[in-house]
Amino acid sequence: DSGVTQTPKHLITATGQRVTLRCSPRSGDLSVYWYQQSLDQGLQFLIQYYNGEERAKGNILERFSAQQFPDLHSELNLSSLELGDSALYFCASSGTESYNEQFFGPGTRLTVL
């Protein structure tokens, strides 16, 4: 158990809809990262937050947004969903060690029909 929790575990929705994925980092970790894993594109970094502030941005679509709240949990919002958004979405957190080992949650499997 990494200490990172993600909800829901599975999500099935329709094209055009909007969903919210939730992540609670390990106790004390200030950084949260979001990744998308699909069969054809591997693990893609989306965005990082550190103590409530956006710190780094990767290949995140404009239809997607995220935030980190004062209690350090984070939410990833996906809107105007398309079939190609079906994937596993992982959240990870890291502490203050300089080598930045990341601890991954179990993921949310999103299926867009």
Partner 1 sequence: GNSVTQMEGPVTLSEEAFLTINCTYTATGYPSLFWYVQYPGEGLQLLLKATKADDKGSNKGFEATYRKETTSFHLEKGSVQVSDSAVYFCALSDPNTNAGKSTFGDGTTLTVKP
Enter the tokens of residue 14: 């329709």
Closest distance to partner 1 from the beta carbon of 92 (Å): 8
Tell me: does residue 38 bind partner 1 (CB under 8 A): no
Eight-state DSSP code of residue 84: G
Tell me: does residue 113 bind partner 1 (CB under 8 A): no
Among the listed residues 69, 73, 79, 78, the one whose alpha carbon sits nearest the alpha carbon of residue 91:
73
Helix (H, G, I), strand (E, B) or coil at 20: strand
Q: Which residues of the shown chain bind partner 1 in the complex (CB under 8 A)?
A: 2, 4, 31, 33, 42-43, 45, 48, 50, 55-56, 58, 90, 92, 94, 98-107
